[in-house]
């Protein structure tokens, strides 16, 4: 079933335990409507039925809405709304034969998808950390603290700024270290006054700080790093790491992911360099949706661990996508023939 979470779904609709106000755009001459009144779970079920949603088991529906809240449920339900130009889409009725169970199944699918994303991103994150250590460790055991080992755009203060991007990075890093209860951090506090060598420092980093460190590398190091993952240019790896960080945050915070637009569109290597990714140059919808992110992940994971079967798990999960009028994996960017693409075949 759909699992509880306090994060917003980002789809205009009703809130957990209440129905939120009208999010449609208003003319400046109109007075915004006040928030809608609080409704009980029983009233929410009645509203769903009045809008045409089939509720086979009201006791089950009551339990689901009590556990996760109406707002989270409505984020998934939005995909089964009928499109009517005369009314806001979140106030319109549901498509014919749309059911409460279909929406629950869609939430279950999304939950499993988030788990697979986190599994794949773990493989990528750990491999990138290790690659940074191999590249910078020989230069200085505390290379992450050496401004001269990074690009000047990362280490120079911008006009009007009190610190550089590297200064800010170190501030956030030191804050993580000060709050850490990890045994290896405690060991370095006792033995080395808290100074962490780069191989230990990498284990403290959040994905976002790792991504920022990659963007701050000097070109020679960034190029060597990107080539190690089969990419032709540092900006491609930097773009992907930024995109992966956003995807990880969404998945880790239990936000709906399956049909969300990608806020960081990935830069792509030329098709001649990475032919298995060439299809994304031709399919803008796939590139700007989840499938583009998953495809970049697949490329990285295949390069890191050629025998990894992560892509098979994605294929297996895709086969369980709920069957309902108006629902399609194309909303997530998946082409009809995606499983036959060289990138996704065994």
Q: What are the tens digits of pLDDT across the range 126-165? A: 999 999 999 999 999 999 999 999 999 999 998 888 899 9
Domain C-terminal end among 98, 119, 135: 98
Output DSSP code: residue 289: S
> Cβ distance 162 to 107 under 8 Å?
no
Number of H-type helices and E-type strands within the chain: 15, 0
pLDDT in tens, 268-277: 999 998 999 9
Regarding whether 212 and 118 lie in a shared domain, the answer is yes
Mean pLDDT of the chain: 90
pLDDT tens column, 276-318: 999 999 999 999 999 999 999 999 999 999 999 999 999 999 9
Asked if residue 306 and residue 158 are part of one domain, the reply reads yes
C-alpha–C-alpha distance, residues 63 and 60, integer Å: 5
User: What is the extent of the structural domain holding 238?
Assistant: 110-340
pLDDT computed for residue 15 by the predictor? 35
Say whether both 142 and 172 belong to one domain: yes
178-190 average pLDDT score: 96
Read off the pLDDT of residues 206-254 as tens digits, 9 standing for 90 and up.
Answer: 999 999 999 999 999 999 999 999 998 999 999 999 999 999 999 999 9
User: Does any domain span residue 267?
Assistant: yes
Q: What is residue 11's predicted lDDT score, i.e. its pLDDT?
A: 41
The residues, ordered by sequence, that sit 6+ positions from 243 with a Cβ below 8 Å of its Cβ are 262, 264, 265, 266, 293, 296
pLDDT at 86: 52
Q: Count the domains in the chain.
A: 2
Q: What pLDDT band is residue 84 in, cutting at 50, 70 and 90?
A: low
At 37 the pLDDT is 87
Q: Are both 125 and 162 inside the same structural domain?
A: yes
Mean pLDDT of 175-184: 96
Contact call for residues 274 and 230 (beta carbons, < 8 A): yes
**Last residue of one domain, picked from the residues 37, 69, 98:** 98
**115 and 85 fall within a common domain:** no
pLDDT in tens, 111-125: 999 999 999 999 999
Residue-level pLDDT at 179: 96
Q: Give pLDDT, residue 269.
A: 94
């Amino acid at each position: 079933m759909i699992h509880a979470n306090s994060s917003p779904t980002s789809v205009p609709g009703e809130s957990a335990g209440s129905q939120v106000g009208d999010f449609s755009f208003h003319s400046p001459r109109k007075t915004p409507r006040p928030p809608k009144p609080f409704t009980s779970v029983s009233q929410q079920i009645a509203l769903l039925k009045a809008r045409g949603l089939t509720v086979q088991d009201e006791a089950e529906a009551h339990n689901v809405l009590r556990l996760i809240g109406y707002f989270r449920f409505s984020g998934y339900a939005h995909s089964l709304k009928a499109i009517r130009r005369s009314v806001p889409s979140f106030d319109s009725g549901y498509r014919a034969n749309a059911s409460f169970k279909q929406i629950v199944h869609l939430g279950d699918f999304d939950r499993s998808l988030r788990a697979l994303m986190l599994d794949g991103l773990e493989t990528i994150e750990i491999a990138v950390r290790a690659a940074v250590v191999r590249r910078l460790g020989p230069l200085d055991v505390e290379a992450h603290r050496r401004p001269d080992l990074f690009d000047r755009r990362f280490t120079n203060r911008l006009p009007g700024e009190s610190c550089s991007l590297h200064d800010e990075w170190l501030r956030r890093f030191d804050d993580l270290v000060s709050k850490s209860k990890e045994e290896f951090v405690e060991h370095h506090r006792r033995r080395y006054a808290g100074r962490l060598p780069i191989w230990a420092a990498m284990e403290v980093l959040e994905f976002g700080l790792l991504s920022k460190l990659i963007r701050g590398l000097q070109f020679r190091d960034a190029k060597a790093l990107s080539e190690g993952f089969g990419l032709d240019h540092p900006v491609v790896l930097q773009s992907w790491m930024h995109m992966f960080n956003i995807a990880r945050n969404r998945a880790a915070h239990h936000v709906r992911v399956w049909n969300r637009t990608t806020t960081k569109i990935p830069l792509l290597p030329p098709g001649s360099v990475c032919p298995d990714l060439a299809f994304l140059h031709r399919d803008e919808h796939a590139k700007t949706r989840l499938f583009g992110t998953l495809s970049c992940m697949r490329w990285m994971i295949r390069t890191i661990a050629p025998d990894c079967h992560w892509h098979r798990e994605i294929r297996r999960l895709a086969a369980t996508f709920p069957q309902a009028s108006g629902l399609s994996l194309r909303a997530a960017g998946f082409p009809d023939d995606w499983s036959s693409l060289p990138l996704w075949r065994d």
